[in-house]
Structure formats: C-alpha cells, structure tokens
Chains A and B, each alone.
Chain A
Amino acid sequence: MALAYYLAKRALFLSITLVIATYLVVIISNQGGLIDNQIIAEIRLGVIQELRSDPTYLRLPPDVQKQVFEKKLQERIVFRGLDQPFVTKSFRQTWEALTLDLGRAQNTYGSGSFKLTTIIMERLPRTVFLFTTATVLSAVVGVWLGLRMARRALSIFDRGMTVLSITTLVIPSWVFGIFFILLFAFAFPIFPSGGMVSVPAPTDPWALLADRLYHLALPLITVTFSSFGGWSYTTRNLVLQIMSEDFVTAARSKGLPEKKVLHRYVLRAASPPIITGIVLALIGSWTGAIITELVFNWPGLGLLFFEAVILVDAPTIIALTIIFAYLFVVTVFILDVVYGLMDPRIRALGR
C-alpha cells in the first residue's frame, strides 16, 4: 500500500519532469521556427505527391494548378494547426512528442525508412543492450571490489584501488575508449577497432553470435572500467561506516562468521545508498553513450545522434533528445521501484 503510494508519487513527479523537459526542447527548437518549417516542408511534399497522381489536376492549366496547389497547402496547414499562435502550437507539439509521434528525418538512416520512430526503434535496443550490460557488470565488479577494499582497509591494495576508483570515476568512458582502441586494437590487435559486426557478416547463426560478442567485448570492457570506480569507492566507504555501528558489533559478538556479518548485516544496510548511486551512474552512462558509441562506431542511439549533428538534421536531434529524456525518466523510475522494494522505511510508511 505504502509502496504503491510512494511509486505513484514518484511516477507523478517523473511525468511532470518529462513534460517540462519536452516542452523545453520544443521551445528551444522552435525559437528559430525549425519545427514549423519542417512540418510545412513535409506537408508540401505530401500535397505535391497527391496532386501528381490526380489526372483531373494534371489536365488543368498551370496558373489554375498553382491556385489549387496553394489552396490545398493552406487547408492542410490550417488542419495541422500551424496557423495557430505559438503557445497553442507548442502545447500540441509537446503532446505529439510525448506520444512519440516524432515525424520524419530529413535524411534517411537505415531500414530504408524516413520515419523517426522506426529509425530510433532499430537503434535503441543496441544502446540499451551495451550500456545495461556494462552497468550491471560494473556494479557487480565494483561492489565486490569495494567489499574487498573495506575488509583490507588502508592496505596497499585498498589505497591503490581507491585512487584508481576515483580517477576512473571522473574520466568518461569515451576517453578510455580512445586509449583502449589505440592499445588493444592497434598496438596489440586483440579486439576489433569498432562496429557491431564484421563486414561481411558471418552467415552461420552461431558464428554471427560469436562475432557480435567479439565486437561487444572492447566497448563493454571500456564502459565497465570507467564506471566500476563509483561502485567500489561508495561501497568501501559505506561498509567501513556501517562496520563500526553497534548492530554489527553485536552480530560479531554473537560469534557469526565474518562473511555472514558482511553479507547479511553490512551489505543489506548499505544497499539503499548503493542503489541511489546507480541512478546517477546509469544517467551518466546514457549521456556518455553519445560519444562512446561514436568512438567505437557502435550503431546505437548515440551514433545516430552524432550523424544527425553532422547532417544538421533538426527533427532527428529533437526526437533523440526526447528519447533520451524518456530513457532517463524510465531508468529513474525502475530504480525507484527497486529502491522501494529494498528500503524498509518506504515499506513501513503506511503502518
């Protein structure tokens, strides 16, 4: 009950956030009338195509043709509400963006389709796959390392790992990507330098899977390496703090083995703040995805974003910004759910 209330509250807040963020994007991109011009160009194209296949129109004299064309174009513009004042228009555009009615790209990308929803849905799974796997992997490695470090606090291992954690934590994954590609794809050619699959791709399904995993390895290692530090450093400090609490001393004095104390008492108490950490880590990795994918030539959302920037394809950039906002919000909400399930204080709210 309490959990449902808490989640509903979070969902409401996140929805409001998403709406405001989308509205912000609409305003930014419409200051130069970009969305409008884009839609009008789209309508014009539609009208031209429609009239071209109409035999009665083609038989009309040119000046009448022009009149018919202008009239039809104007009708459509009014129908789409483009003659309305900016405020009304911006609200409708926000609604369209929120319902993922993203329109068309100016330049084709993949799948032979101009429709942005199609293009984005083709790319989205690749980004989510790479970065979710990397986040899970870095969480596992980081928490494991953090526990090790806390157990042997102030040893050389602990100090070295602390410094390594802090430095890797602040350096984004794409910078590591550059160094790792130089090292492991060129100086010592162990991994491919980029892409998601070999060209030409193997036809055998098992060979294809192996090939994909081979291409996944270096970006995965890179993203994991750049984000484990946050986990290990936070875990270490939390565990050290909790270890000196009375309930841990009590558990120890009962004669429980150290491993059990650590896992059952310390880690459990430490998990909610660690979960909070994942929120920032994941959000950071989504944003970092833009350049990380570019460096690794990984054909996900980030690379699409870069291609759109290069071609100054405004509709695609706008659509992707909104998709990123969605990704952020959904990520935060999923973690809210996990947090709600883990934190006894939230479960106890209603009692």
Chain B
Amino acid sequence: MAAPIVGGKAAVREALRMKSGIFGFGMLLFMMLVVVAVPIIAPFDTVRAWGDVSVWTDNPRAAAPDWIDTFSDKKQARNILVEWDEFSIAQSNTSPVFKIAILRARFDFTYDTFPQELRLQMLSNWSDRKPLITVDWRRPDGQSLTIYSLSPDRLAPQVETLTLSSRPDVQANVRNWALGVGADDVADVRPHVSLYAVQDAGMLEPSRAQVLKGTYTLTVQAIMFNQADTLLARFTSYGTVFGLAGTDHLRRDLLIGLLWGAPVALAFGAAAAVVTVMSQVILGALGAYYGGRFDEFIQRSTDFVIILPALPILVLIGTLYQPGILTVLFIVILFNIVGGTTKVVRSIALQTKEELYIEAARSYGASRRRVLFRYIMPRTMPYTFALLALSVPSFIFLEASLSFLGLGDPVLPTWGSIMGDASRNGAVYNGIWWWIAFPAFGIVFATVAFAFLGYSFDKVLNPRLREE
C-alpha cells in the first residue's frame, strides 16, 4: 500500500499525471483565457446594454451564425451596412430658392439568399420647409425604380428610420414596377426579395425568385428649400446570418452574451464552491475532532440542509425580492455552510484521529489547533479537491436554473438567462437552435472540465480507478 497522498500540492501534482487531469486542467485553462480576453473583445459597456433594445438595431433578427454556409453550397446573405459617412454626397445650388442633394451608396450583393430586411435611416435638418425626398434603387441589370418618396418627419438629431421592406408604399412601388416588367402578381409583396431578384415571372414570390448578384446603387435625392439644410443617410441590408453565434429575437449579438456568460458562471460557481467546501470541510473536521454535542449539532444541521428544498426556496426568494447576483450568491452559500462534504470529511477525520502519528503529536504537546490544521486537515485535502471540482458545476447549474426561470441578475446576461429567453420565445419550436444550443454547450463545456478534474482527483484517492 502506497503512502497516503497528503496536502493540496501533492494532490494536484498526482492529478496532473493523469490524462483526465490534463484534459480537465486544459479545458479550465482555455476558459480562463476566455475570461481574460472577454473584456478586451467585448468591453463591459457593451454587455451592460444587453437589456437596451435600441443598441442592437443594426443586427438582423434571429439570424443564424455566419459559418453555417460552410456546410452548404449556398452562401447566406451577410449584413451590409452603409454608414453615414460612406454615402457619396453631391450638391447643386444653382437655384437661389432650393438646392438638390444626391446621396449615393454603392454596394455589392454576391450571396445566394435574399436579405432579411431593408432599412434606411435619415438625419435631416431643415428650417422653413421639409425637404422632399426620393429614394431610387438601381440594379446590376440596369433596371431602376423609385421605391420611396416623401418628406421626413423628424428633425436632427432625431433619426428618421424607414423599414423599407415592410412599408406599404414601398411594397406598392415594388409591385407596380415588377408587374410592369412581367412578374406574376402575389398578395404579399416583399421588397427585400423582389428588389434583389432576377427579372422573371416569379420575382415577386420568395419561393420562385432567384438572386441577382452584382453591384446595387441606392440613391437618396433631396430637394431642400434652404441653403443651410442638410441631409445624411445610412442604409442597412440585413443578412440572414450574423457573427459567430448568431442573434436573438431582439437582434442582440449572442456572442457577447455567451462570452460574458463564462466569467459570470465561473466566478459564481468557483466562489460558491470554494467558500462552501471550505466551511463544510472545517466544520466536518471540527465536529469529528471535538465530538460530543457540537458534533451532534453539526450532524443534524447537515441532515437538515440536505433535505431542505433549496431550489424552490431560492425561487421563492427570487420571485419575492428580485435579488442581484451577489445576493443570490450569499444566500446560496448560506444554504450550503454544511452539506455532503461535511459528512465525508468527518468520516475521514474520525479515522485519522485514531492514528499513531496524531497520538505522537499530542504526546509531545502539540496544540489542538496544530493537530487539527497541520495534521488532520491535510489528509482530507485530496477529497476536498475532488469535492471542490465536482461542486463547481452544481453551483454553475444552480445559477443557470435560476436565470433560466428569469430570476437571475437583472443586467448581466448569463448562459442560463439566454437559454431561458430562448425557451420562453419558442426558439426550439421555431428552429432557432443556435440561441439555445450554444449557451447549453457553454455550460456543458464548463461542467465537463470540472468533472474531469474531479474524476482525476478521485483517481488519485482510489488507486483502483487508475489506468495502470
């Protein structure tokens, strides 16, 4: 029989000699790197605006991740955004009464699917009369049409937002033009399809229309009635795919939520696990060492806590008081001051207490504290590490469960709250799998890392589990 492994360092060293240990540490290291990189990739301000719908309007709604088209021969439409300063502006002030401004955006459309939506934003400043605006659409096949003509209602700095793809006037213009060039009529016109469709009989029908690739030009022409009046424009052709992780129903970039989910989950899980396992270990060892009424009290409290329906009570607290994530952490720790670990450590400490070297230490006058903390506790260290590694995921899942029910932190997105959003909005039923599968994968990844670690610590303790 080999000598028992004593102390934390030895346990880690032994665990790292196993494949599962290296695997677990590797995964943990990867997550640590993500945690360090997250504030650089997505600063905290981006994630703090998670609940603010107006921040995310440039993204397509419920769009799949953009790498999905590597699995098919169709290239999905990407987001095309022509910024305020990317429009070329030409002005003519030949007349003293009015001036004409022509804003032009040219962009290439080379995808195999139609965009999701079209949006034009305008920022106009006028003094006497509203400017008159005409929006023209020029296609690669030389066809062109006027899709919109009206005056803006909002003065700068307010932005006039026109969702071209769902405006009845734009739909009517597109239909008239399409019927004129020989298309079959349909009840529901989709400008974002027909404007990009090859000119044929089916160009009004999304199922029959084919994409016309090439360079498109959007022209905004404004007649303004004062020399000081100005107009700026911004155009978005929403893609059907977006980013590495797609978007949700509020157009939020899921990648940001997923990345920030990692530090939140890890910090919550690790903090709860370290504090509770430490308190459980110390109380278990103290109980075993001192015995008597104190031990009995610890034992009964442990049994009580194990039977207590912790999640329902947490849900109750969450619903009645809407606590933030730190309060939840505090309550979770409170409910786990004693627990399963207390029992395990107590039984180990009871055995260790009777061993000769403890008796020897006592006989040369070692203090109780010295015996407890220097001689008994180190023996429980490997167990502690295994239990620590295995309890991190359980706390990660506890937090995820609460957020899933909508009781998590009101500001920060977590893996659980993203999954909860997805579930409440029927992501699975509408085929928006990336919304729910990625956060679930994140949680499983973190869990598996800790499970491997726990397993390797377990193997250190039980030589029978070892490979050789």
A186 to B311, CA, bound (A): 30
Contacting pair A186 B433 (CB below 8 A) = yes
Contacting pair B467 A159 (CB below 8 A) = yes
Partner of B428, one of A162, A182, A320, A325: A182
Which one of A90-98, A121-129, A303-311 is at the interface?
A303-311
Q: Which B residues are in CB contact (< 8 Å) with A332?
A: 307
> Would you list which residues of chain B between 302 and 333 have a CB under 8 Å from chain A?
303-304, 306-313, 315-321
Contacting pair B405 A178 (CB below 8 A) = no
Q: Does chain B have a CB within 8 A of A73? A: no
Contacting pair A167 B451 (CB below 8 A) = yes
Contacting pair A321 B429 (CB below 8 A) = no
Q: Does chain B have a CB within 8 A of A294? A: yes
Q: Does chain A have a CB within 8 A of B226? A: no
Q: A-facing mask of B408-429, CB < 8 A → 1, else 0?
A: 0000000000010001000011
Residue of B nearest to A325 (CB): B309
Q: A17-B303, A186-B433, A305-B315 are in contact. Are A178 and B309 (CB under 8 A)?
A: no
Contacting pair A317 B440 (CB below 8 A) = no
A309 to B312, CA, bound (A): 11
A28 to B309, CA, bound (A): 14
Which one of B71-79, B277-285, B389-397 is at the interface?
B389-397
Residue of B nearest to A16 (CB): B304
> Would you list which residues of chain A between 148 and 177 have a CB under 8 Å from chain B?
153-154, 159, 162-163, 166-167, 169-172, 174-175
Contacting pair A280 B433 (CB below 8 A) = no
Q: Does chain A have a CB within 8 A of B447? A: yes
Min CB gap B337→A, angstroms:
15
Min CB gap B33→A, angstroms:
22
A171 to B304, CA, bound (A): 25
Residue of A nearest to B318 (CB): A309
Q: Does chain B have a CB within 8 A of A32? A: yes
Contacting pair B406 A237 (CB below 8 A) = no
A34 to B321, CA, bound (A): 11
Q: Does chain B have a CB within 8 A of A29? A: yes
A193 to B433, CA, bound (A): 13
Chain B contact surface mostly: helix
Contacting pair B312 A290 (CB below 8 A) = yes
> Would you list which residues of chain A between 165 and 210 have a CB under 8 Å from chain B?
166-167, 169-172, 174-175, 178-179, 181-182, 185-186, 193
Contacting pair A32 B433 (CB below 8 A) = no
A310 to B442, CA, bound (A): 26
Partner of A186, one of B423, B431, B440, B455: B431
Contacting pair B312 A305 (CB below 8 A) = yes
A170 to B20, CA, bound (A): 16
Q: Does chain B have a CB within 8 A of A13? A: yes
Min CB gap B10→A, angstroms:
22
A88 to B171, CA, bound (A): 70
Q: Does chain B have a CB within 8 A of A291? A: yes
A186 to B454, CA, bound (A): 34
Q: Which B residues are in CB contact (< 8 Å) with A174?
A: 401, 404
Q: Does chain A have a CB within 8 A of B436? A: yes
Q: A28-B317, A178-B419 are in contact. Are A290 and B311 (CB under 8 A)?
A: yes
Q: Does chain A have a CB within 8 A of B369? A: no
A240 to B397, CA, bound (A): 31
Residue of A nearest to B23 (CB): A163
> Would you list which residues of chain A between 252 and 293 have a CB under 8 Å from chain B?
280, 283, 286-287, 290-291
Min CB gap A90→B, angstroms:
15
Min CB gap A245→B, angstroms:
13
Q: Which B residues are in CB contact (< 8 Å) with A241?
A: 464
Q: B-facing mask of A16-55, CB < 8 A → 1, else 0?
A: 0100110011001101101000000000000000000000
Partner of A193, one of B309, B405, B428, B455: B428
Ordered by A's residue number, 18 sampled pairs between the chains whose C-beta atoms are within 8 Å are A17-B307, A20-B304, A28-B313, A31-B320, A153-B464, A162-B455, A170-B390, A170-B447, A179-B440, A237-B462, A290-B311, A295-B423, A306-B405, A309-B406, A317-B312, A321-B316, A324-B312, A328-B307
